[in-house]
Amino acid sequence: LYFAKIGLGNPSKDYYVQVDTGSDILWVNCAGCDKCPTKSDLGLGLTLYDPKKSSTSSLVYCDQDFCTSTYDGPLPGCKPNLQCQYNVVYGDGSSTAGYFVKDDMKLEQVTGNLQSRSTNGTVVFGCGARQSGELGSSSEALDGILGFGQANSSIISQLAASGKVKKSFAHCLDNIEGGGIFAIGEVVSPKVKRTPLVQN
């Protein structure tokens, strides 16, 4: 199980999310969530995201561009001030449901050799209101899942569309001790071998 630490909201709080190239959206467990795990057997402290406690958060409504493009058109029964909902079922049968919010994501941007600076990108992600199956158990509980799929709704697509990063990612996983490096955007040095993702 590989997970990464991300910063969301203002002031920024840290969340541990499983990295998944087989799904598209980022979601984190939210305040008031039903069947969300409260502790993790991985030895991590879990944090619930509360949109009310972030000065930069806003709700995403069903008539906004993000929602209509995610669902390939207007949602049936959509009227102003109706939130844009999400529901994802994973391969193991577990599922997550909730609503979309927009907020700041904290990024460490590489500026030179072994140097980085903090920067923000505004992204839309899921606020988990209900979990089922393994996602509700504490055995491998995390704060959420970071989808790295190719859809426009994925974080890497959103950051690329806003000009923050190039649309590529790299990971170097240590299978002996665990851990490793996960980078999004362009890796300048050392020279990397590129592998295009095969469609479908």
On whether residue 175 sits in a domain, the answer given is no
Could you tell me which of 160, 162, 170, 158 has the C-alpha nearest to residue 195? 170
pTM for the predicted model, two decimal places: 0.88
Query: Rounded CA gap, 88 and 147, in Å?
Result: 11
Could you tell me which of 183, 187, 164, 143 has the C-alpha nearest to residue 44? 143
What is the separation, in whole angstroms, between the first and last Cα of the chain? Answer: 24
Query: Rounded CA gap, 16 and 18, in Å?
Result: 7
**Domain region containing 50:** 3-165
On whether residue 50 sits in a domain, the answer given is yes
On whether residue 131 sits in a domain, the answer given is yes
Domain count, the chain: 1
On whether residue 193 sits in a domain, the answer given is no
On whether residue 137 sits in a domain, the answer given is yes
On whether residue 49 sits in a domain, the answer given is yes
Residue 145 belongs to domain with CATH number: 2.40.70.10
On whether residue 199 sits in a domain, the answer given is no
Query: What is the pLDDT confidence band of residue 190, given thresholds at 50, 70 and 90?
Result: low
Q: Tens digit of pLDDT for each residue in 50-83? A: 999 999 999 999 999 999 998 888 888 899 889 9
